Amino acid sequence: MSEQTAPLRLTQKLLAAPRGAKQAMMLALDMMALLAACFVVPWLFGVPLSALPFIKDQQIFVAIYVPLGLCLLWFLQFYRMVVRTLDHSAVSKMVQAGIGLSVLAALIFLDRTSVAKAAALGVVVGGVSIGLAGLGRVLVRNLIARIGGAPVGDPLLIYGAGRAGHQLASALANDPRFRPVAFLDDDPALQNLRVGSLNVHPGKALEDLSKRHNTKRIAIAIPSLGRRRRREIMDELARQEFEVLSIPAFADLVAGTHAVSDLRKVQIGELLERDVVDLSQSRMHRWFVGRTVMVTGAGGSIGSEVARQALQLGIERLILFEMSEVALYTIHQELKGQTHEVELIPILGSVTDAARVAAIFTAHKVDAVYHAAAFKHVPLVEANALAGIENNILGTETVAQAAGAHGVQRFVLVSTDKAVRPTNVMGATKRLAELVIGAAQQDHPGTVFSMVRFGNVLGSSGSVIPLFERQIMQGGPVTVTHPEIIRYFMTIPEASQLVITAGLQANGGEVFVLDMGAPVKIIDLARRMIQLSGASVRDAQNPDGDIEIRITGLRPGEKLYEELLIDTDAVATPDPKIFCARERGMPTAEVAETLGALRSAIETSQAQQALAILERAVPDYTRSGDAQDLDGTQAPHIFPHTIPGGRA
């Protein structure tokens, strides 16, 4: 056994020893500390060490003080502290123990001197005792760290020297991933101070600290930081190519669902995110109390979030209607863990299955429907036009007509900005679905039908964000279809919240459009995501960069920019993020004729015929040469209608 491995193995054995054995070792150390204090204090007052063991009063003091002192420490749960993770609670416990030992020593001294002298001697003996006991623990901890070969994490800067920053630094003291090296803070009152074992520096010292500690990794530890200031900080850190980590949100810390040390990479959505309010506190949303809500496409990005938020509104019953078994199981299991008061009804089925849809409304008195079921991936729908037409148009007509026939009070169609002057099959199907809803309003005036139209949502299955994240993790390249392409982005929670709110503002037939904020250039988005990951962009100006951005050309049916309005100005609503428009519709007879023709084309698998019908119904639709599907009369195209638990 080498000299290096022997101490390491000994330390590992000590760390693996039973808790009782470790407590016995600390008890022995404390006994030596108390004994030492009994001899150090008289020696400090001039009594020779050689004479102390033979002084009767000293013998009596040691015989009383040491065993009672150890009992006091045990009573104060001194031996429940884990030496490797000493923190501020340990300091508090040691102060309590120091006071207790001082009182004990003073009481013993009262038998032979005045109260004042006894109190003074007690404070000195208690202070020395707890000081030696604490020193022993610190030495043991350092010895374990050194001999035990505790892994040294990567250097980490912490932005925020407040309570959260201090907690983060303490939590990472024994973390093998990171080693906090310095604080940065905007507060002048904290700058140039020392918090814990780290110095606090102003934000302008970031570049110097990065070079000094050879790190490009920083953690944002200000859970209450405003969004505007957070974006400013993120932008500056991204510009300097820092890998930015963040502690959980303040609400998660308070709820106890996450610890301050649960660092995660900052997502691009945090730079674009806007405030989301608690709908349950709104007077308008009290309409939902005791109601039954049905969400179609409940396993999708928007549908699942609408379901989550509806759960908080005091509803009595939530019907989750979804075609994907996996998606339905996932959202149902998630929501089951969040409530025992709302009845959850998961139903597996397709919105094109008229019998099954009607059965749902017959079995349950549904008050509100949020129709989020749709095929929405532009290139996939472009290549599978018949499937997209059947699901997005005929499925919408099936659910809307059944809802109106069964007296549903409110029906909200989740639409898309791609429905405005569409250049792809998906957008055209959503525009015709909007016209279907307008016709349903005329057929069923007792139901309030409305549509909510918005752009891209961050984190959805069709969003560019997850694609960029995967490409960055693989080392690139990050693919952008066109250098000038722009999009509007909104977070899933905010979009779902506004969908719910807009539906309550409707009187019938309105198209609501959401304030999507400022447009984002996709190539700039890709660049910021690369920089936030701690990598650099490889381009002509920086040929030695880490990740390349590659231009691939527009995809089938893709537009450089999207619009939200067709032919009219939107008017404001009570919610500043929601605008209302009334757009031209289509007579119900013409809608019925169009749907009948589409149904016939789908049943005979006539893709080109169906696309021609779609073009006539949506005059603004600019058809691309990529729109196609299986085409022919030999094998009729039939969308799967056989649903487990349902019928063909």
Residues with active-site annotation: 418
For 221-342, where are the E strands, in sequence order?
Answer: 243-246, 264-265, 292-296, 317-322
Whether the CB-CB separation of 319 and 361 falls below 8 Å is answered with no
For 350-477, where are the E strands, in sequence order?
Answer: 368-371, 410-416, 448-454, 456-458
For tokens 């899933």, the residue is 492
For tokens 């179609």, the residue is 296
The residues near 622 (Cβ < 8 Å, ≥ 6 apart) are 421, 422, 423
In the chain, what's the furthest Cα-to-Cα distance?
Answer: 115
The residues near 339 (Cβ < 8 Å, ≥ 6 apart) are 311
Taking each helix axis from N to C end, the angle separating 464-473 and 522-532, rounded to the nearest 10 degrees, works out to 40
Whether the CB-CB separation of 160 and 220 falls below 8 Å is answered with yes
d(CA 374, CA 11): 61
Whether the CB-CB separation of 438 and 509 falls below 8 Å is answered with yes
d(CA 360, CA 340): 22
- Residue 281 gets which letter from DSSP? G
Whether the CB-CB separation of 396 and 433 falls below 8 Å is answered with yes
B/e letters for 7-22, b = 16+ CB within 10 Å, e = fewer, are: eeeebeebeeeeeeeb
Please compute Rg for the chain using Cα positions: 35
d(CA 562, CA 566): 11
Whether the CB-CB separation of 34 and 68 falls below 8 Å is answered with no
Phi-psi region of 196 (alpha: psi -120 to 50; beta: other; left: phi over 0): left
Whether the CB-CB separation of 277 and 250 falls below 8 Å is answered with no
The tokens describing 101, both together, are: 């030992």
Closest CA to 313 of 292, 337, 285: 285
The tokens describing 12, both together, are: 């590992």
Integer angstrom CA distances of residue 525 from 56, 343, 485, 493: 81, 41, 11, 20
d(CA 370, CA 309): 12
d(CA 234, CA 522): 18
- Residue 420 gets which letter from DSSP? S
